[in-house]
Chain A
Amino acid sequence: MTNKAQGTAYGAWLLLAISIIALILAAVATFNEGNGIAYTPGTYLVLISTALMLVGSLLLTFARGMPRWLGGLIAFLLLLDLLGTGLAAYLLQAEWLLVSIGIGLVAWLVHAIADPATGKRDRTMTLRQEAAS
């Protein structure tokens, strides 16, 4: 990930927006009777996974001071969440949810490539790296 200490985390913000939309779409899929999938374990699964996605993207967006390794871990878990939710949406034939997850993956890439790095670097590691260089 690029280390940019300053600037707006556009990717994280986009991911947050997508997470909110995905959670709403998952809720609609879960509770909207007559869609063929309502109240099934599959929709409960995406409801939980999109809720977790929202939590993760909130952390990425607002908890900028967290340790960098934690930011990386959350980003990694978010990627898994996006991929899993996307697969579930595909198998549930929940097209709009699938589209939102697709955009979420783009947002994740933007975050990974362009967003300023989160929080503090590990001081010891930084010194070692500097010494090595």
Chain B
Amino acid sequence: MNRNDAITLVVSLLLAGSVGNALAQEDTSTDEEGGQPQGISETQGDESEQDASSDEPQADEEDSEASSVTPTGPGGRVDTGPAGEAPSGGGETSMPQPGADAWMESPDSWATFNGDLRAQKYSPADQITPENVGELEQAWEYHTGDVSDGSDDIPMSVWSATPLFVNDTLYLGTPFYRIIALDPGNGQEKWTFDPDARLEALTQPMMKSRGVAYWEADEPQAGEACQKIVYIGTMDAKLYGVDADTGERCAAFGDNGMLDVNQWNTINDKWPLSLLQPPTVYNDTLFLGWAGKDWTDAVAPPGTVFALDARTGERRWTFHALPEEVVDRTGTANVWASMSLDPESGLLYIPVSSPSPNYYGGERTEELPLATSVTALNTDTGEVVWSRQLVHHDIWDYDTVAPPTLVDIQKDGESVPALVQPSKQGFLFVLNRQTGEPVYPIEEREVPASDVEGEEAAPTQPFVDVPEPVIPDDWPGISRLADMVGLGECSRKAKGLRYEGRFTPPSLEGTLTYPPTTGGSQWGGGAVDPEKGVFVINSNSVVQIYRLIPRDEFEQLGQSGETGGYYAQGDTAYGFHLETFLNWAGMPCWKPPYGTIAAYDLNTGERLWNEPFGQVQKHGFYMPESWGSVTIGAPVITRSGLIFIGASMDSRVRALDLESGEVLWKHLVEAPAVSMPAVYTYEGRQYVTFAVGGNSILLPKVSDQVVSFALPD
């Protein structure tokens, strides 16, 4: 027994329940799903959309727009209208042009959610280096005031916004859906915009936001308003557009600066299309997915992606991920995470989530090839260029959850235009981003059959061996410590569960599921150094128990936090019970580490290093570093060879050496920084800025802190 073991034993006895309770909640209620029919896009003529100002969902109204529906790709549809036509009243032509917008490509800026359209999360800044990062100090701090611990009428806040630095301003979107513009050098407030949004848990159980998006005209007209616009979406499906210099509403956008996206929620409109993820902006167009409500319904809004005119909000096309003929039995397969886009080819890459109901597919047994896929769309038309399904007949809620990272890699002496698609399953799919063909092999392997009446699990699933998955192939095994404290409870429990490796289907007796819906990897995805070809990603190692409950036995009992408890799954044959595998004391029954961060050489597929990351903190006590921490958020990489990341339970932000994974610097913040930082250079000084919001999945600790770090003057 080494020192850590000894400490572990004593602490675990003292803190029975601590880690476990945290992990018990750690499931993916981040699953911001919702959803429409498969692989279809439509293009629209959209005069009617600008008067979509009603607060009430226009759910069952006939979509009155003149549109045509075109099947596209494997089962998809596109509603098309006058895509590419000049927007009415916009002033300038908004025909999509190849190539990135100039304002987005500045090496000093951090202009999008993922840093750039390619979701590389990479900054060419090199002022802060591994040698001097130890001197990093807090440059300024700001509090938005938009925070709730859930103790009053407003649900608890979950804030995962990436601050945007562009237009010499730092823009933030809050979980109360305000936009705040700050001076990037000192954090002084420039202006704020408050849409007076409904602060109700209409779909997600918490007030959530991942921030704002920014657009700028190619040639902004001086003195004219709304040549630069900042957008924020709300949980009740409103998209606001305000002038980036003043914070005033843009009158030409939607109805006086507000576009009601729920006007397009016309099928199975059980809840609003929550706009928690800011849109992707490219060539005067906004690409917009949405989030919904997981696990409650069988039939739900089917997944769509909208392409909107950046100036007016007019809809150019709508992509549908599900075929029309199945939407009376299923839904979702929506895009709730961020997207990436190749500005050279004009292809939009969307991570499509799983269809509803999430854990029983007996009433949606036909192939839904765009569900749980990574799909490339033509930005002009919304048509599917290629698609690759990452889970067949998904009954584990393995949403494709993160944007693929686009990067050119060197393989066999050739430059390959690639993408890296992280997954909840733990696989890193490396594909040719022009064709969708694997760069490293993807093998269809036989997987266990379902023993539940009515279910038809897919006979094979795609597996990836290179790069090595972010989590082990097999579950970590019983933690002796937890088993000892539980007087053998963990072992006894495991014996009664079904486990036959990855993709063991949910069962009546309970299936030990590894990885479960928490992942593996989560919505943050990874970061890449495009010059070195090194990809970095944080991941979780969690074990959960999936149990189906026959409808006549199902009772709607309680739910624990966002991610555990009983879920009806509509009126399908089975309800569902989700449980994290814990002993009576709340300790995880599986072996640590619970979270790691790893680096991969994409040119060879080799994993360079893989280290426990962060520390579990419960009741104030920090668990051993070798345990790691479940993480929510994502890393960014700088040219100087640093990784900056918050994400961990222990409310610390860190800088790691890209070469070794060694922690070179860390700093305490007010709550877990469940976001990705922005790295930018302003007036010659490099800043690293974190939005510190917290997430109850990790810890019941919330904050409204924005904190920026820089080297001393």
Which residues of A does B touch, CB under 8 Å?
34-37, 40-43, 87-88, 90-93
Since A36-B617, A36-B652, A40-B621 are in contact, a sample of 16 more A-B pairs with Cβ atoms closer than 8 Å, ordered by chain A residue number, is A34-B668, A34-B670, A35-B668, A36-B620, A36-B651, A41-B620, A42-B619, A42-B620, A42-B621, A87-B7, A88-B621, A90-B7, A91-B7, A91-B621, A91-B622, A92-B620
Q: Give chain A nearest CB distance to B82 CB in angstroms.
A: 54
A36 cross-chain contacts in B, Cβ below 8 A: 617, 620, 650-652, 668
Q: For the complex, is B201 an interface residue (Cβ under 8 Å from A)? A: no
B621 cross-chain contacts in A, Cβ below 8 A: 40, 42, 88, 91-92
Q: Give chain B nearest CB distance to A48 CB in angstroms.
A: 13
The 6 lowest CB-CB distance pairs between A and B, nearest first, are: A40-B620, A42-B620, A37-B620, A91-B621, A41-B619, A42-B619
Tell whether A93 pairs with B622 under 8 Å between CB atoms, given A35-B668, A36-B650, A36-B668.
Answer: yes
Q: For the complex, is B10 an interface residue (Cβ under 8 Å from A)? A: yes
Q: Give chain B nearest CB distance to A42 CB in angstroms.
A: 3
Q: Is the CB of A43 within 8 A of B620?
A: yes
Q: Is the CB of B622 within 8 A of A92?
A: yes
Q: For the complex, is B11 an interface residue (Cβ under 8 Å from A)? A: yes
Q: Give chain A nearest CB distance to B44 CB in angstroms.
A: 51
B623 cross-chain contacts in A, Cβ below 8 A: 91
C-alpha spacing A103/B692, complex, angstroms = 37
| Main DSSP-derived SS at the B contact region | mixed
C-alpha spacing A88/B18, complex, angstroms = 14
Q: Give chain B nearest CB distance to A79 CB in angstroms.
A: 16
Q: Give chain B nearest CB distance to A45 CB in angstroms.
A: 8
What are 26 of the A-B contact pairs (CB < 8 Å)?
A35-B668, A36-B620, A36-B650, A36-B652, A36-B668, A37-B620, A40-B619, A40-B620, A40-B621, A41-B619, A42-B619, A42-B620, A42-B621, A43-B620, A87-B10, A87-B11, A88-B14, A88-B621, A90-B7, A91-B7, A91-B621, A91-B622, A91-B623, A92-B620, A92-B621, A93-B622
C-alpha spacing A88/B14, complex, angstroms = 10
Please give me the residue from chain A that is nearest to B617 by CB atom: A36
Q: Is the CB of B11 within 8 A of A91?
A: yes
C-alpha spacing A34/B705, complex, angstroms = 11
Q: Mark B630-651, 1 if CB is under 8 A from A, else 0.
A: 0000000000000000000011
Interface centre among B617, B621, B652 (most CB of A within 10 A): B621
B7 cross-chain contacts in A, Cβ below 8 A: 87, 90-91
B650 cross-chain contacts in A, Cβ below 8 A: 36
B617 cross-chain contacts in A, Cβ below 8 A: 36
A40 cross-chain contacts in B, Cβ below 8 A: 619-621
C-alpha spacing A64/B11, complex, angstroms = 36
C-alpha spacing A126/B467, complex, angstroms = 77
C-alpha spacing A43/B619, complex, angstroms = 8
Q: Give chain A nearest CB distance to B519 CB in angstroms.
A: 26
B14 cross-chain contacts in A, Cβ below 8 A: 88
B10 cross-chain contacts in A, Cβ below 8 A: 87
C-alpha spacing A37/B617, complex, angstroms = 9
Interface residues of B in 361-410 (CB under 8 A from A): none
C-alpha spacing A87/B622, complex, angstroms = 11
C-alpha spacing A87/B7, complex, angstroms = 8
Q: Give chain B nearest CB distance to A40 CB in angstroms.
A: 3
A87 cross-chain contacts in B, Cβ below 8 A: 7, 10-11
Please give me the residue from chain B that is nearest to A29 by CB atom: B620
C-alpha spacing A43/B670, complex, angstroms = 17
Interface centre among B11, B622, B651, B652 (most CB of A within 10 A): B622
A34 cross-chain contacts in B, Cβ below 8 A: 668, 670
C-alpha spacing A91/B627, complex, angstroms = 14
B668 cross-chain contacts in A, Cβ below 8 A: 34-36
C-alpha spacing A88/B622, complex, angstroms = 10
C-alpha spacing A37/B618, complex, angstroms = 9
Q: Give chain B nearest CB distance to A64 CB in angstroms.
A: 34
Please give me the residue from chain B that is nearest to A84 by CB atom: B14
C-alpha spacing A91/B670, complex, angstroms = 19
Q: Give chain B nearest CB distance to A72 CB in angstroms.
A: 25
C-alpha spacing A24/B122, complex, angstroms = 45
Q: Give chain A nearest CB distance to B508 CB in angstroms.
A: 38
C-alpha spacing A36/B11, complex, angstroms = 18
C-alpha spacing A3/B621, complex, angstroms = 41
Please give me the residue from chain A that is nearest to B671 by CB atom: A36
A93 cross-chain contacts in B, Cβ below 8 A: 622
C-alpha spacing A109/B470, complex, angstroms = 50
C-alpha spacing A37/B622, complex, angstroms = 9
Please give me the residue from chain A that is nearest to B619 by CB atom: A41
Please give me the residue from chain A that is nearest to B615 by CB atom: A93
C-alpha spacing A43/B620, complex, angstroms = 7
Q: Give chain B nearest CB distance to A38 CB in angstroms.
A: 8
Interface residues of B in 609-628 (CB under 8 A from A): 617, 619-623
Interface centre among A36, A88, A92, A93 (most CB of B within 10 A): A36
C-alpha spacing A1/B473, complex, angstroms = 58
Q: Give chain B nearest CB distance to A47 CB in angstroms.
A: 11
B620 cross-chain contacts in A, Cβ below 8 A: 36-37, 40-43, 92
C-alpha spacing A42/B620, complex, angstroms = 5
B11 cross-chain contacts in A, Cβ below 8 A: 87, 91
C-alpha spacing A56/B623, complex, angstroms = 30
Q: Mark B657-669, 1 if CB is under 8 A from A, else 0.
A: 0000000000010
Q: Give chain B nearest CB distance to A53 CB in angstroms.
A: 18
C-alpha spacing A90/B625, complex, angstroms = 13
Interface centre among A88, A90, A91, A93 (most CB of B within 10 A): A91
Q: Give chain A nearest CB distance to B3 CB in angstroms.
A: 11
B652 cross-chain contacts in A, Cβ below 8 A: 36
Please give me the residue from chain B that is nearest to A43 by CB atom: B620
C-alpha spacing A90/B652, complex, angstroms = 17
Q: Mark B5-28, 1 if CB is under 8 A from A, else 0.
A: 001001100100000000000000
Please give me the residue from chain B that is nearest to A83 by CB atom: B10
Q: Give chain A nearest CB distance to B2 CB in angstroms.
A: 15
Q: Give chain A nearest CB distance to B283 CB in angstroms.
A: 44
Interface centre among B7, B620, B621, B668 (most CB of A within 10 A): B620
A42 cross-chain contacts in B, Cβ below 8 A: 619-621
C-alpha spacing A90/B10, complex, angstroms = 12
Q: Give chain A nearest CB distance to B694 CB in angstroms.
A: 12
C-alpha spacing A62/B668, complex, angstroms = 42
Please give me the residue from chain B that is nearest to A46 by CB atom: B620
Q: Give chain A nearest CB distance to B654 CB in angstroms.
A: 14
A35 cross-chain contacts in B, Cβ below 8 A: 668
Please give me the residue from chain A that is nearest to B6 by CB atom: A87
Please give me the residue from chain A that is nearest to B705 by CB atom: A34
Q: Give chain B nearest CB distance to A89 CB in angstroms.
A: 10
Q: Mark B669-694, 1 if CB is under 8 A from A, else 0.
A: 01000000000000000000000000
Interface residues of B in 1-58 (CB under 8 A from A): 7, 10-11, 14
